[in-house]
Amino acid sequence: MYKGIFDVYLCMTGLYFCIFDAYLCILRLYFCILDAYLCIPGMYFCTLYLYFCIPGLYQSML
């Protein structure tokens, strides 16, 4: 039970950082294209993170 809650907490924290990262990315894109290029790997890892996180969340709910 507690493990499930902890998983949800970790997932939400990760999601929050991903959204924040995306926000910073958009700001940096506005300022500089080169900077945006550095941003893309971060977005890729965020997507990957969510891809693994969401099934984990689902399993902890069961």
Kindly report the backbone phi and psi dihedral angles of residue 12, in degrees, each rounded to the nearest multiple of 5, phi listed first: -65, -40
Q: And the tokens for 6?
A: 């902890």
**How far apart (Å, rounded) are the C-alpha atoms in residues 25 and 38?**
9
pLDDT, one tens digit per residue, over 13-56 is 877 877 787 777 677 667 666 666 777 777 777 777 777 777 77
Report the pLDDT value the prediction gives residue 24, as an integer from 0 to 100.
Answer: 75
Q: Which domain holds residue 45?
A: 2-61
Report the pLDDT value the prediction gives residue 35, as an integer from 0 to 100.
Answer: 65
**How far apart (Å, rounded) are the C-alpha atoms in residues 6 and 34?**
37
Contacts of 8 (CB under 8 A, 6+ apart): 57, 60
Report the pLDDT value the prediction gives residue 50, as an integer from 0 to 100.
Answer: 73
Cα 8 → chain centroid: 13
What pTM was computed for the model? Answer: 0.41
Domain count, the chain: 1
Report the pLDDT value the prediction gives residue 41, as an integer from 0 to 100.
Answer: 77
Report the pLDDT value the prediction gives residue 61, as an integer from 0 to 100.
Answer: 66
